[in-house]
Structure 1
Amino acid sequence: MIIRKILLIVFGISWLISCKNETADPVEVCFERDVLPILSNSCAYNDCHNPDDRAGGIQLTTYNGVLRAVTPNNYRASKLYTSMVTFPVMPPKPYDRLGVEDLSIIAAWIEQGAKNNSCPPANCDTTNVSLSADVRPILSKYCGGCHMTNNPQGNVDFRTYDDLRIYVDDGSLTGSINHISPWSQMPKGSGKIPACSINIIDAWLHNGALNN
């Protein structure tokens, strides 16, 4: 429902620009919840816009870094957006281009002022957690761009249950998302994924990490 409303915002962006006094859909796009996961997942590959490599002097895993590529209230003038829709399109090959939904979220966030907002967390239900319905969507959103591709970063592959189970059994999955030493903190160069997402994954692990 949130995504559908966000898309409606974007489809009306041009109209909103020319009709400033009209009332817009009040749904707020949140940097931490909606935008940062897209950028961390699609732009922070090795040799790209992570804190270590900063390709082109741009770092896209923090708000301040992202803001350097944004013109608030004008997505058409924002390098962050235009670089994703004009040649040469970012991310570069062999990585996948962002889909319409992700581009729409970024555009809507910029049009709303590119705020450093997190949005209140929703109720977090950790009962009857399953891999397919609950854990996979989280991994896809926050980890998929790096670890669910044909060329997974660091050879860490989450695509199949057997692949994922390796990092369940050695403790690195929960260690990385909870930022526990000595595991590498993930997402790379960014803050932790939302607490509810961590709780859901940890509940799945606690219940035996079943292939369900």
Structure 2
Amino acid sequence: MLQVTGVFKNYATAQGPLAVLRGVDLHLQQGESLALMGESGSGKSTLLHLIAGLDQVDAGTIEIAGQRLEHMNEAQLANWRRTEIGLIFQQFNLIGSLKVEDNLAFQARLAGRYEPSWQAELIKRLGLADLLTRYPEQLSGGQQQRVAIGRALASRPALLLADEPTGNLDEATSDEVLQLLLDLLANSSTSLLMVTHSPRVAERLQRTELLHFGRLATQS
């Protein structure tokens, strides 16, 4: 599903180039869940952004479901992001002017994959039936994250990328939201790559990798 090979990424600073990723190799099978851990500044979010096609590698390759990202132009990448991947961030990034029901359907409609029956299933499993007419500002943090998860899964993406998706939630709500996410993924072919600083969260996923000074060391 995902193959990252020899990826390097530098950023320009006043002191010269800063090496963030130094030859990262990473693989993820279809339907597999992987936690990516590492200290602050180790390059976790940078790697996630590269895999999402939001930034370009300096060297190396990223291949997802047989497609090499460096072979796509900006329009192709934008279309690919709409149809093939789902993104979940700890900031939720819901659209404030849209009600919950419309936020849930937004990504799927953009991808041309809106399925009323799947939308109904997500609403039921995520416990959102009584919240559909509310706006994001009227929701708790846990409720907003449930909507963000539903939006990301609504288009049935091949790959789900999550950057500290429970980082802004208390421990009990984090556990609940994570369990809902894993339950929804259990019967799908979607692969999950999650950046997290929490060992408690990481141990719930099938495999863990540690990113340290721009290189990976397999943990399990």
Structure number with higher strand proportion: 2
Return the TM-score normalized by structure 1. 0.28
Structure number with higher helix proportion: 1
Return the TM-score normalized by structure 2. 0.27
